[in-house]
């Protein structure tokens, strides 16, 4: 099946652009529209998303703050099972919600942080610097998302973070070829 080109509405202002990706909800739910007079659940969901979309930026800000608080707790008190779990859940939620909230370029960095947490066999050995770089990257990409080059910069940043993270994880998992295969996969 050929890949569909994603269409986006772009509004250009003096110092920034606002990019609204195409809503592809109908394609995931059904290929045929509802019959006249039938309840169209997809249309209702699209209307609900449109009504809520004005709040998406503030929701993403809240998610970034939650991620930052989890990082601050680790900085303050060290890595515990509770703080590791809080950091993972915050990053995982951002990874999963980024596209819906209108910030898809944030997802890859959040995914890299999830991988760091998931594949580090001894969490207390996770470099705080690497955690900080991930959290700061998520926050910066979100903050600068209106820039016309934000997606390209996010991609470059993610590529470098992923490279450093994978190097760390491969070193930490020497002697565990099954894990190294997952990291490289």
**Least confident range of 3-7, 142-146, 162-166, 167-171:** 3-7
Whole-number Å distance between alpha carbons of 97 and 109: 13
Place of tokens 């998406």: 56
Contact of 137 with 109, CB cutoff 8 Å:
yes
Whole-number Å distance between alpha carbons of 114 and 96: 11
pLDDT of residue 150: 87
Q: What is the pLDDT of residues 96-155, one digit of tens each?
A: 999 888 889 999 999 999 999 999 999 999 999 999 999 999 999 998 987 889 889 999
Contact of 114 with 88, CB cutoff 8 Å:
yes
CATH of 55-184, one of 1.10.10, 1.20.120, 1.10.3470, 3.60.21: 1.20.120
pLDDT of residue 127: 97
Domain boundaries, the chain: 8-54, 55-184
Q: Which residue has the higher pLDDT, 98 or 17?
A: 98
Q: Does pTM top 0.75 for this prediction?
A: no
pLDDT of residue 99: 87
Q: Answer left, alpha or beta for residue 11, where phi above 0 means left and psi between -120 and 50 means alpha.
A: beta
């Amino acid at each position: 099946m050929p890949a569909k080109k994603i269409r986006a509405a772009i509004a250009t202002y003096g110092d920034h652009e606002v990019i609204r990706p195409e809503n592809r909800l109908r394609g995931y739910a059904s290929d045929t529209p509802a019959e006249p007079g039938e309840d169209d659940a997809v249309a209702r969901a699209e209307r609900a998303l449109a009504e809520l979309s004005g709040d998406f930026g503030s929701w993403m800000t809240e998610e970034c703050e939650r991620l930052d608080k989890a990082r601050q707790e680790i900085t303050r008190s060290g890595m515990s099972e509770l703080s590791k779990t809080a950091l993972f859940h915050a990053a995982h939620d951002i990874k999963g919600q980024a596209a819906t909230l209108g910030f898809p370029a944030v997802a890859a960095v959040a995914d890299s942080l999830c991988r760091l947490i998931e594949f580090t066999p001894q969490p207390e050995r996770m470099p705080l610097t690497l955690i900080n770089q991930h959290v700061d990257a998520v926050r910066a990409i979100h903050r600068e998302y209106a820039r016309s080059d934000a997606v390209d910069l996010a991609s470059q940043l993610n590529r470098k973070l992923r490279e450093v993270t994978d190097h760390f994880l491969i070193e930490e998992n020497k002697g565990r070829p099954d894990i190294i295969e997952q990291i490289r996969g």
